[in-house]
Amino acid sequence: MWRCPICWRRFANRNQSHACGRYRLVSHFKGKSPANRQLYKLLVTQMRRSGPIIVLPEKSRIAFQVRMSFAAIQVQSSRIIGHLVLAHRHERPCFHRIDSISRHNHVHHFRLETPRDLTEELCQFIEQAYAVGQQKHLKHQT
């Protein structure tokens, strides 16, 4: 793992392009509802069931990293929007959009408005995204 000498963020690749900055988690919840803070806590608890994570507050989002970032969210006034990075496309109701970046890199977008939106299906995809964050999917590429 390479660490940026300016912002100290860790990356899987040396000199990886990024926007340096030191941001605080609390700034993402300023002026937002307590319900959104609780929803965030539920989401992070679910992510941690897969293993240890690094929570990276950035200027406009909160990223979640193992070896590489596998998910990110934005806290809005009435909901949380986010995405998971998965190795394969999964056209499922819990995702409202999928952006295919490469053959083994698909960004699946989701919305959380209530705890009910954190479905069992979405939680299973969080586990898969965590494995992508560990770069386990690269060992199986053909």
Q: According to the model, what pLDDT value does residue 15 have?
A: 65
Q: pLDDT at residue 142 above 50?
A: no
Is 10 a member of any domain? no
Is 56 a member of any domain? yes
Is 14 a member of any domain? no
Share above pLDDT 90 across residues of the chain, in percent, rounded to a whole number? 70
pTM: 0.85
Average pLDDT over residues 88-115: 96
Q: According to the model, what pLDDT value does residue 141 have?
A: 53
Q: How far apart are CA 102 and CA 78, in angstroms?
A: 32
Is 5 a member of any domain? no
Is 2 a member of any domain? no
DSSP letters spanning 32-57: --HHHHHHHHHHHHHHHTSS--EEEE
Is 126 a member of any domain? yes
Is 89 a member of any domain? yes
20-46, pLDDT tens digit by residue? 777 889 999 999 999 999 999 999 999
Our count of domains for the chain comes to 1
Q: Which domain holds residue 134?
A: 19-140
Is 9 a member of any domain? no
- List % helix, strand, coil for the chain (3-state, nearest 5): 30, 30, 45
